[in-house]
Amino acid sequence: MALAPAPPENVTLTGAITPDAKVSWSAGADPERAGFEILWRETTEPRWSRLTTASAPGELVLKGVSTDNHFFAVRSVGKNDARSIAVNALPGLPRKP
């Protein structure tokens, strides 16, 4: 982890009244960061079992993934393939357009 980029910040989760989860996060500029991994797992699973990637901070909609039955997190990935600690998504208010 010493060689990993800084973890993402302000990781939030919305979508409680829809069948889709929306994960949002921010991060400072880091020339050594390659992107982010968005992780999720069912509440009964002990380890992260699914992931998708994003190249920049922002938000990602996980179609068909219920917020009721899953935990979510985001971590940074460095160009050296090192990964930061995963930051758990906290319930948040939807962003206004």
Among candidate residues 43, 80, 38, the one with its CA nearest the CA of residue 56: 38
Residues sharing a CB contact under 8 Å with residue 69, sequence separation 6 or more, in sequence order? 42, 43
What pTM was estimated for this model as a whole?
0.91
What's the CATH code of the domain at 37?
2.60.40.10
Count: domains in the chain? 1
- The residue range of the domain holding 59 is 9-91
Domain assignment of residue 83, yes or no: yes
Give the chain's mean pLDDT: 93
Domain assignment of residue 20, yes or no: yes
The answer to whether the beta carbons of residues 15 and 92 sit under 8 Å apart is: no
Does the structure show a pLDDT above 80 at 95?
A: no
Q: What angle do CA 53, 56, 59 make, to 5 degrees?
A: 75
